[in-house]
């Protein structure tokens, strides 16, 4: 499996009809930070990966492209 975190995050966010701003507020970062994650310019720290996984109801492996959701 060769799907990037940025693509998975964008897909999960859009499937749940969340704006970047709404996602940012849910995990405690700025909208600009979410934008950078989705562009693949930066990656979240482990603590934010846990928050994202909990929010979307998936494992960190799913977020990182190591298993399918």
Domain residue spans of the chain: 5-63
CATH top-level class of 5-63: mainly alpha
Question: In this predicted model, what pLDDT tens digit does every residue of 8-66 receive, in sequence order?
Answer: 999 999 999 999 999 999 999 999 999 999 999 999 999 999 999 999 999 999 999 98
How far apart are alpha carbons 53 and 46 in whole angstroms? 10
Helices (H) and strands (E) in the chain, counts: 5, 0
Q: How far apart are CA 5 and CA 63, in angstroms?
A: 6
Provide the pLDDT confidence category of residue 1 given band limits of 50, 70 and 90.
very low
pLDDT range class, residue 2, cuts 50, 70, 90: low
Token couple for 42: 């930066």
What is the reported pTM? 0.90
């Amino acid at each position: 499996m060769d799907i990037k975190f940025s693509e998975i995050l964008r897909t999960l966010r859009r499937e749940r009809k969340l704006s970047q701003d709404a996602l940012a507020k849910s995990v405690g970062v700025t909208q600009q930070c979410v934008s950078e994650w989705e562009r693949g310019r930066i990656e979240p720290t482990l603590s934010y990966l846990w928050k994202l996984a909990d929010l979307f109801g998936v494992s960190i492996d799913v977020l990182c492209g190591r298993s399918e959701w």
